[in-house]
Structure 1
Amino acid sequence: MALWWACRVLESTLIVPRRLGRALQSQGLRGTTYRFPFGDLKELARLAMAARAKPMPPLARHHAARESPLLQRKISVTWLGPTPRVIVNDPKLVREIMANKFGHFQKRKHTGIVRRLSNGLVNHEGEKWAAHRKIINPAFHLEKLKKMFPAFAACSNELITRWVGYVESDGAKEIDVWPEFQNLTGDVISRTAFGSSFGEGRRIFEIQCEQVQNLVKLMNSLYLPGFRFLPTQLNRRIKANARELQALLRGIVSKRERAMKEGRANNDDLLGLMMESNIAETKQAGNSKPIMTMDDIIGELKLFYFAGMDTTAVLLTWTMVLLSVHPEWQHRAREEVQSVLGDNQPDLDGIQQLKIVSTRSPACALLCSHDFSRKWKSDTVVSVLVWSLQVTMILYEVLRLYPPVVQLDRQTYKEVELGGVTYPPGVLLSLPIVFIHHDKDVWGEDADEFRPERFKDGISRASKDSPAFFPFGWGPRICVGQSFALVEAKMALSSILQHFSFGLSQSYTHAPFPVSTLQPEHGAHIMLKKL
């Protein structure tokens, strides 16, 4: 066994990397040379540490280099340990890779910790991915999301009530909005996924947050075959967390199964909708066993918590920061929200009273101009899920400047030709979303500036190379929960704009840094003033 393990390590860390490196260099791809056994991991850690040691001023434009310091270098190939990573900056090639028309690419192969964190739709391939996507999709349709409005509204109202309590004593208060928004989105995902309050789901939230930190530690270290089975302190903690999380979620799913069998389940939440869809698809396929097993459902629930909470929290945080720096856009957004909602809270009743927008209006054209907006379209109207043109443009511009996920990865599993280069199996293709979103050749000389009006004619016309906007991915694997995230963000932002004006605190330190998502390393300290 020891000899077998040694041969595996030697092959994966020396023989295969050198073969792949020669294949890429022979085609003119320039980059670093593989250094046994860590590749560029040490250099990446050094650059990241140097970038983090220099906080940026709030108005800094060139923040992308701080988030991915190695990707800013004008090179094609770097090494993540023994794996060659080719950086793909061309938006056309990025779209081709993510479209994956001929099935040449797959998601990056992850270690066990990634699967423990979110072993759901995002990690599946082939038939299993297609089956799960078909089952999960109905839970995020427009009509289903409408049923979740009361949960969105209740969580937003609790946030506003808490903030009003903060500022009532002296009329203004400094608040770190980053943990506030984490609690908000954790509350939303708990209620919409399980029908429970955030208090009941808090332990799930805490475990997932800790597992994310553990994931970052492992991804920044050299992966060796069998390493996860060694009884290190980190591995023991990861396994203990995984067992506890599995038990918590298994209890929730089992309780719902019993309620469904007894006919007393309210299945308006994501868990219920997914389980109902699973039953329907299983019957339609004529299977005796469910398509999604208990473990499959638990994996998707982990993903709901991880993706559904983090993405919207960082979107709202950077929106507050940018609207603090650009008060003119804060004013414009507030005016539009007040003109649509007045003093009404954006709850379900308020939404039903809002003016309906024609499908021929500019707002509809904006929201229906991209693949991930097609589901909002109806024959006669687009309801105020569209909300307002100003708020939508602002959120899109925030997603452009501060995409929650700064890069996406795809891996070749067979030989494939792309952009005149033939890639052998085992090459990691890195799609640096944050750099494409800041590319002046694509977005113009003002690419680093906050200009929401660039989206006034829709996403497809916002960039020179149409389109080059990938905050939720692209193609068949585009994020299934993107509409959920945008509706949640619009509800929360509209409530905040109705009740508060805000600006940056003097204690704010601008330090965007990617953990699982692009997070404010030192928090986001905002001065709130009640209107």
Structure 2
Amino acid sequence: MEMKFITESLNLYLVAAIILYFWVCRIVNCVWLKPRRLEKWLKSEGFKGNPYRLWYGDLKDVAKMTMDVQAKAINLEDDIDSYVFPFHHHIVQKYGKRCYMWNGAKPRIFVMDPVWIREVLQKHEIFVRLYTNPLNKLLITGLFLHEGESWARKRRILNSAFTITKLKDMISVMHISCVELVEKWQSMFSDKGSVEVDVWPYFSDMSADVISRTAFGSNYERGQKIFLLQKEQGRLVTNLSRSIYIPGLRFLPTKTNKRMKEISKEIEAIMIGIITRKEEAMKRARDLDDKSSIDLLGILLEINYEEQKNGNGKEVGMTIEEVIEECKLFYLAGQETTSTLLVWTMVLLSIHQNWQVQAREEVLEVLGKRKPDFDGLLQLKKVHMILCEVLRLYSSAPLIVRVTAKEIKLGDVTLPKGLELALPLLFAHHDKEIWGEDANEFKPERFAQGVTKAAKDGQLGAFFPFGLGPRICIGQNFAMVEAKMALALILQRFSFELSPSYEHAPVQVITLQPKYGAKIILSKI
């Protein structure tokens, strides 16, 4: 009996030793052998970068350099590339465009050639999105996370919700939120001829209000609650993402982890309540043959209903959970993109008064003092040029990351499966080889003949503020129309200039945002 016990114990120890051995081998391979093999391959292909350092790679340098550089503001004429991404800029300056950095134990090559960039974004089924940190899924949800057939099915449904006809229907709702913004500013004047305003929080609130109204209609007040919760979630996730990601850490019952779970549950509960009420209202409307609902949720649920009704047993439409995820994504992407576009537009037009005058003259010529409508907004050619140039200089999403789903040839290089690629939009948008020696200057006239002819020598793939290819941002038209609406109303009522107390510090917090706000002096006209 005792011998049997000893034998069983030895067997258990042996199994445990084998498992431990394989785990050790796996860890050694991941953090040392594989990185060294990839480093050798990168050098053989002409890529240059820092030598690999165990586990952390370049991440400690990234954190330190970012903290040191962004500790203070910069001059308005300074290059923002080296401020927003100081380490990335340092690597490119040190090693040239064919370079890489170490994202922990994984190399990440830089893709800076417009031809390569276009190919990466076009072949979305091969160059897929990177999801190494599950924390990001607390913010980035919905269509953004899907690939293959699942993505194609959802994209088809969502395309139907963002047609020009649907967008026209949302114009009057956008107008309400934009008018409330300018009325708030007008109320600050009293007897004063001018007033200093930090416009950043106002644009943030206004774009959130637009999303709430266009997404949820009569339920927009509940929608605003979702925005506040997501804003809090964003702060928590951003703070955690600045440290090295350790698998399993998010499951520990820390105060932050508990709060993030509470926020997710609260958002879901609010969304389910909104959707339930909306479905009940839509059922009553269908019984009365009333198709007047114009909010995004109503459009999405109606399209989804028709898809499921005509599906003939096939997997079509979306579940309630999927609808919730799409609404959360619409909130995050829509609110962030428009608010940052507007704040940098105000800053640049404050500096370049000649373009502010031209934009105002165009608005008054086309619209006068009347309420902007869809057709009128489309006629604002100079305003459109200005917004494109702002998106070029201050890209809302300054960096895109992809990973190869399989071995693929890109240009003259055959990339292995699982290789990370960084597409620094900001660098490409400021590249003098692409845009000319005046690449860092604000010159909206670049876009006078359209986006395709804006870059030097008409280089395609050089301008991609909303991405390119099949996965181009589905809400780009929505964001541009909203920005034109808000800017037109502001230009009709105010002239503006930078406050002497303005501090220039563009930093990436999901999107490219002003670290110290945007203090502008407004004057009535």
Q: Taking structure 2 as the reference length, what is the TM-score of the superposition?
A: 0.90
Structure 1 or 2: more helix by fraction: 2
Contact 2:126 2:404 in 1 (8 A): yes
Amino acid at match of 1:440: K
Match of 2:232 among 202, 206, 210: 210
Contact 2:366 2:376 in 1 (8 A): no
Amino acid at match of 2:211: I
2:386 is aligned to 394
Alignment of 1:497-512 (within 5 A): 497-512=491-506
- What is the deviation of 1:198? 5.3
1:520 aligns with 2:514: yes
1:233 is aligned to 255
- Partner-residue secondary structure (3-state), 2:517: coil
1:94 is aligned to 117
| Separation in 1, partners of 2:329, 2:274 | 15
Match of 1:69 among 57, 62, 86: 86
Match of 1:301 among 327, 335, 340: 327
- Cα deviation per residue 1:306-358 (whole Å; 9 max; x = unaligned)? 00101000000000000000011000000010001112122x4xx5xxxxxxx
1:272 aligns with 2:272: no
- Cα deviation per residue 1:6-41 (whole Å; 9 max; x = unaligned)? 776555444443343333233232112222222111
- What is the deviation of 1:515? 0.7
Amino acid at match of 2:60: K
- Segment of structure 1 superposing worse, 254-263 or 471-480: 254-263
1:477 is aligned to 471
Alignment of 1:191-210 (within 5 A): 191-196=213-218, 199-210=221-232
1:410 is aligned to 402
1:287 is aligned to 313
Aligned length: 495
- Cα deviation per residue 1:386-421 (whole Å; 9 max; x = unaligned)? 131110110000000001010111101211111212
- Cα deviation per residue 1:498-529 (whole Å; 9 max; x = unaligned)? 00000001110000001100000000000001
| Separation in 2, partners of 1:253, 1:194 | 9
- Segment of structure 1 superposing worse, 314-323 or 242-251: 242-251
1:357 is aligned to none
- What is the deviation of 1:185? 0.2
Contact 1:24 1:423 in 2 (8 A): no
- Partner-residue secondary structure (3-state), 1:131: helix
1:326 is aligned to 352
- Segment of structure 1 superposing worse, 457-466 or 319-328: 457-466
- What is the deviation of 1:61? 4.1
Give ranges in structure 2 of 5+ residues lacking alignment. 1-15
Amino acid at match of 2:70: R
1:242 aligns with 2:260: no
Amino acid at match of 1:307: A
Contact 1:461 1:467 in 2 (8 A): no
Match of 2:420 among 416, 425, 428: 428
| Separation in 1, partners of 2:310, 2:107 | 44
- Partner-residue secondary structure (3-state), 1:79: strand
- Partner-residue secondary structure (3-state), 2:421: strand
1:51 is aligned to 69
| Separation in 2, partners of 1:220, 1:10 | 25
1:258 aligns with 2:280: yes
Q: 1:158 to 1:197 in 2, by over 3 A?
A: farther
Based on CA coordinates, which of the two structures has the bigger radius of gyration?
A: 2
1:29 is aligned to 47
| Separation in 2, partners of 1:473, 1:281 | 28
Contact 1:387 1:490 in 2 (8 A): no
Contact 2:219 2:274 in 1 (8 A): no
| Separation in 1, partners of 2:201, 2:402 | 31
Q: 1:433 to 1:40 in 2, by over 3 A?
A: same
- Partner-residue secondary structure (3-state), 1:150: helix
- What is the deviation of 1:466? 2.8
Identical-residue share of aligned pairs (%): 46
- What is the deviation of 1:235? 2.2
| Separation in 2, partners of 1:86, 1:233 | 36
- Partner-residue secondary structure (3-state), 1:151: helix
- Partner-residue secondary structure (3-state), 2:495: strand
Alignment of 1:435-514 (within 5 A): 435-464=427-456, 465-514=459-508
- What is the deviation of 1:254? 1.9
| Separation in 1, partners of 2:50, 2:180 | 52
Give ranges in structure 1 of 5+ residues lacking alignment. 352-382
- What is the deviation of 1:241? 1.4
| Separation in 1, partners of 2:268, 2:41 | 43
Amino acid at match of 2:284: E
- Partner-residue secondary structure (3-state), 1:166: coil
| Separation in 1, partners of 2:335, 2:281 | 26
| Separation in 2, partners of 1:301, 1:6 | 43
Q: 1:315 to 1:79 in 2, by over 3 A?
A: same
Amino acid at match of 1:63: I
| Separation in 1, partners of 2:275, 2:32 | 45
Q: 1:120 to 1:23 in 2, by over 3 A?
A: same
- What is the deviation of 1:468? 0.7
Q: 1:290 to 1:459 in 2, by over 3 A?
A: closer
2:338 is aligned to 312
- Cα deviation per residue 1:264-283 (whole Å; 9 max; x = unaligned)? 78531111111112222233
| Separation in 2, partners of 1:157, 1:280 | 35
| Separation in 1, partners of 2:279, 2:34 | 48
| Separation in 2, partners of 1:469, 1:246 | 36
| Separation in 2, partners of 1:399, 1:268 | 29
Match of 2:59 among 21, 34, 41: 41
1:114 is aligned to 136
| Separation in 1, partners of 2:315, 2:126 | 31
- What is the deviation of 1:245? 1.3
1:84 aligns with 2:101: no
2:10 is aligned to none
1:377 is aligned to none
Amino acid at match of 1:195: G
Contact 2:56 2:103 in 1 (8 A): yes
| Separation in 2, partners of 1:328, 1:197 | 42
Contact 2:200 2:517 in 1 (8 A): yes
- What is the deviation of 1:261? 2.6
